[in-house]
Structure 1
Amino acid sequence: MKSDVISRRRPGAALAALAGAQFTVMLATSIVNVALPGIRAGVGLSDSGTPWVVNAYGLAFGALLLAGGRAADLLGRRRVLLTGLAVFALSSVAAGLAGSPAVLIAARAVQGMGAAAVAPASLALVMGLFPPGPGRGRALGVWGAVSGAGGAAGVLLGGVLTQAWGWPWIFHAVAVGALAVLAAAAASVPRTPVTETGRFDLPGTVTVTLALTTLVWGLTSARGSGWTDPTVLGAFGLTALLLAVFVLVERRHPDPLLPPRLFRTGRVAAGNVLMALLGSVWIALFFFLPLHQQQVLGLSPLVTGVGQLPLAFAIMLGSALAPRISRRAGPTATVTGALLAEAAGLLWLARIGAHGGYLTDVLGPSILIGLGLSVAFVQLTALSVEGVPQQDAGLAGGLVNTTRQVGGAVGLAVLATLAGATTGRAEAAHQPYLEALTAGYRTAFAVSAAVLAAAAALAPLLARRGPAAPLGEAGTRPTPAAHN
């Protein structure tokens, strides 16, 4: 097995490829934000159709992460990773060549499906390459750096490419990056034995995927139609019904998609709750901050992207320092302090003015937010997979990504509604448009700070660590299978 030998000698090469996969997935999440006006004009999107360029990717990504994680455990993580990257690259090319709204939105949905395979498989491979200890801490620091920097880099690259060559190149660039990562992963990531021998839980996968799809669809629709719209309420009601069916299916299936043992090990449950709260603020930050820079401060797409660089650098710095901070202060204190630091940065950002500037209103808070966000993300990712049996590593990676994505969808829908309501009241009170818009953004940032403060108050739950589950629990006997 030549690739096994290469990986043992050069684990850094495998880590670089896996981090590149995660970076590409996160890049595709935010790279379209700045380019939306050009995309709308280019393919003839309507007002109601434009948000679905973003929503189609996020919906497919969030809804299929659990299925992607379980598939990685059953079929082989390397195989699922490479397949996901290929699907991701091809759908990116299709999105760049799209000449109609239907083709573009469909391509973005398939792109999200590929991402749902890549993210949990790559995280599980990282956990397998680096055993518990300082090495794994450093690897997760790299993971956190590229995850956070990918969102900020997407805004920058989207602005540069849109302004220089037009919106199709944002998708072509993502495709080129995905193909490069695919080649690097094929050369450096080892073939690992499949250790899970259970059956794929198709009924559970279908019901939970449909439940997450209807939930995210309802939340994204609520931003435009309102929370009391019958269609939105119907989506939430169907979500509740599907989740109830999912619980019944899981109780009866011999190899459930979410086995109970997963929540009895390590800090999985507490880590995922806090990751959902962090995600609810994270996604919204990268939505509102570029809008404020362009709509209120009047910055161009390119300058807006450049303005994200300090945030990206702060994220990379915090991710590098996170393992060292955790070893000295302990994981619970580290998470608490990081969440409070990010909350303080958002409170600072909530003081923006309609006639302010980037240097006075945005730069300082961005650095503080980036440091807190990155440290919290690295630690919560590590804690959410800590103590999980190797047979469930892919599923645990899918779960923590799911909670972040779904938390982000919930947070963005709620914060966008609150911001819109605040702006509407300000306009009704005859405030100038820019001041009304700024008031809405201030509300979103202030509420985000409150959410993180609540998350910090819940951080002591991380101290309640359950026993690590041994391999082979719940009737499974993992045995080496064919390499993949």
Structure 2
Amino acid sequence: MTAEQTVPTPTGSAPTTTGRAAGTTTGSGSGSDRPNHRWIALAVIALAQLMVVLDATIVNIALPSAQADLGFGTDQRQWIVTAYSLAFGSLLLLGGRLGDLFGRKTTFIVGLVGFALASVLGGLADSFGLLVAARALQGVFGALLAPSALGMLTTTFRDPKERGRAFGIFGSIAGSGAAIGLLLGGVLTEYASWRWCLYVNVVFAVLGVIGALVFMAKPPKVERPRIDVAGVLTITAGLVGIVYGFSNAESNGWDAPLTIVMLAAGVLLVAAFVVIETRVAHPLLPLRVVLDRDRGGAFIAIGLVAIGMFGIFLFLTYYLEQTLGFSSLQTGLAFLPMPLSIMVSATQIGGRLLPRVGPKVLIFAGGLVAATGLLLLLRTDVDSTYAGTVLPALIVIGLGMGTIFSSAMNTATTGVARADAGVASATVNTMQQIGGSIGTALLSTIFADVVKDSLSGLSAAPTKLQQAQAVIDGYHVAFGISAGVLVLVALAGGLLINRQSVRLAKLERAASATTGSIPAAAH
């Protein structure tokens, strides 16, 4: 078999070439092509993914201390989060395509180094403006790093069983990183300083760079077509509009003029981007990547999961701290059963069963299980206990989430041409980011409205107990809506994923055995 032999792929996918690709080598016996090196490379990739995912929640834990130290107002706190979200969410597709063009190992290392330097800058910040700038830089380099990590995973693991295990591990990190961030942020804030919530990224980055240099293969020389400048400009501006629009809706309401203008402009620019991608020779996001039925269903499921997860982390954190009186550290420890449950289900259920039953069944079942866990949170009350109400729900939610993440991420990147692996991975991250933005705005405003309505119905000034019960009512609505969103995840898996995807494992084995290419999705 030659180093570059083209094999046919299903409708909707570009021809897939065999042999060398970004992030792998063939025949040299070096780098990630060695079996043991592939798994070490996976550990490096997972470490980088963990750094990116936990950064959101770990910084949220640090915000009150940072505010007291730097002296900025409560109304300014939002920009610490928004600066990162805008840069990260708007540049993901460009970051993924740069990895495709210049080599994912290169962009992976650059992303790690840049993220670490931005974290140091944030840790050293002596003003609000410098901290915001550092967070924006974190977002820029995170947008380069995240799709490179998933793209390398996609091109490194080709055997169906290995691929299932690898995505099980990666999915467990993606699903549990936010909870780990709560725990780590609580520890660092309580026993060190809020600045260490940023400095800790340097440890992850140093380990990641060393691992990448030693265990990841040198990317081969590839043809570098011109960057789709028009596509970059329209999608970047469009995503900025959408992310900022949802962020503004959270603080100023859905009827605020700026919210309406930004969301409308964002949607129009994304529509213009789609038109551009159909006409340029070298599109930033080839539409074949998203129009494949299985991948499209997986992308939708991933976006919906991000909406649902927001209800878990934000409002359950509020419940634990404000209602049950937990400290930040106790809250982080309280969430620990969920990432453990995610890891078990992602590796043992999703990772092992995906080659046998396909993503359709697993995403459907995972969505229903996670929704059931959220419905268990409707039993929470002002005098509930953690062990009796929260703990069982977290375990059930984790079992469902882990199954969804490992299956959906694998499906979203299966059958993609090697040249498109980075941008396909970036689409996964973009769906997560947009879903999180929607969840933040939608659930926060609904929660506030429910609390307001509950209190306005009282004839006299509300007592502390009545105020607490009104907040509980808001939590219940948020949990209920999140459960409904996860039912939609199940439907996306059950209705949009191709019925023949149960044959995925057989086709993957055949493709891997004969070509060494990225397996093609069943149709």
The TM-score with structure 2 as length reference comes to 0.86
Q: Residues 72 and 121 of structure 1 are in contact (CA less than 8 Å); yes or no, is this contact kept in structure 2?
A: yes
Q: Which moved more, 1:458-467 or 1:173-182?
A: 458-467
Aligned pairs for 1:73-472 within 5 A: 73-195=100-222, 197-265=224-292, 267-321=294-348, 322-430=350-458, 432-459=466-493, 460-463=495-498
Return the offset for 1:83. Answer: 0.4
- Cα deviations by residue, 1:5-46 (Å, 9 ceiling, x for unpaired): 143332111111111111111111211222221121111221
Measured in 2, the distance between the counterparts of 1:26 and 1:4 equals 32
- Cα deviations by residue, 1:376-404 (Å, 9 ceiling, x for unpaired): 01100011111111110011000111111
Q: Residues 29 and 58 of structure 1 are in contact (CA less than 8 Å); yes or no, is this contact kept in structure 2?
A: no
Measured in 2, the distance between the counterparts of 1:399 and 1:3 equals 32
Relative distance call for 1:124 and 1:3 in structure 2 (3 A) is: farther
- Cα deviations by residue, 1:236-257 (Å, 9 ceiling, x for unpaired): 1221332233233323321111
Relative distance call for 1:292 and 1:256 in structure 2 (3 A) is: same
- Cα deviations by residue, 1:240-282 (Å, 9 ceiling, x for unpaired): 3322332333233211112122234462211111111111112
Measured in 2, the distance between the counterparts of 1:195 and 1:346 equals 47
Instruction: Look up the SS of the partner of 1:353 in the other structure.
Output: coil
- Cα deviations by residue, 1:283-316 (Å, 9 ceiling, x for unpaired): 3422222121111111011111111111111111
Q: Residues 266 and 386 of structure 1 are in contact (CA less than 8 Å); yes or no, is this contact kept in structure 2?
A: no
Q: Residues 175 and 342 of structure 2 are in contact (CA less than 8 Å); yes or no, is this contact kept in structure 1?
A: yes
Measured in 2, the distance between the counterparts of 1:38 and 1:465 equals 53
- Cα deviations by residue, 1:203-247 (Å, 9 ceiling, x for unpaired): 111110111111111101111101001111111122133223323
Measured in 1, the distance between the counterparts of 2:132 and 2:49 equals 22
Q: Residues 360 and 499 of structure 2 are in contact (CA less than 8 Å); yes or no, is this contact kept in structure 1?
A: no
Measured in 2, the distance between the counterparts of 1:182 and 1:283 equals 31
Instruction: Look up the SS of the partner of 2:75 in the other structure.
Output: coil
Instruction: Look up the SS of the partner of 2:492 in the other structure.
Output: helix
Alignment-derived partner of residue 471 in structure 1: none
Alignment-derived partner of residue 30 in structure 2: 5
Measured in 2, the distance between the counterparts of 1:308 and 1:75 equals 39
Structure 2 unaligned residues grouped into runs of 5+: 1-24, 508-523
Matching residue's letter, 1:236: L
- Cα deviations by residue, 1:27-72 (Å, 9 ceiling, x for unpaired): 1121122222112111122122112222222222121111111110
Matching residue's letter, 1:440: G
Return the offset for 1:146. Answer: 1.5
Measured in 2, the distance between the counterparts of 1:331 and 1:238 equals 35
Matching residue's letter, 1:130: F
Q: Residues 79 and 132 of structure 2 are in contact (CA less than 8 Å); yes or no, is this contact kept in structure 1?
A: yes
RMSD: 1.9
Aligned pairs for 1:17-36 within 5 A: 17-36=44-63
Q: Residues 267 and 464 of structure 1 are in contact (CA less than 8 Å); yes or no, is this contact kept in structure 2?
A: no
Measured in 2, the distance between the counterparts of 1:289 and 1:59 equals 25
Instruction: Look up the SS of the partner of 2:275 in the other structure.
Output: helix
Q: Which moved more, 1:382-391 or 1:144-153?
A: 144-153
Q: Residues 122 and 198 of structure 2 are in contact (CA less than 8 Å); yes or no, is this contact kept in structure 1?
A: yes
Alignment-derived partner of residue 473 in structure 1: none
Q: Which moved more, 1:276-285 or 1:207-216?
A: 276-285
Return the offset for 1:406. Answer: 0.6
Matching residue's letter, 1:223: E
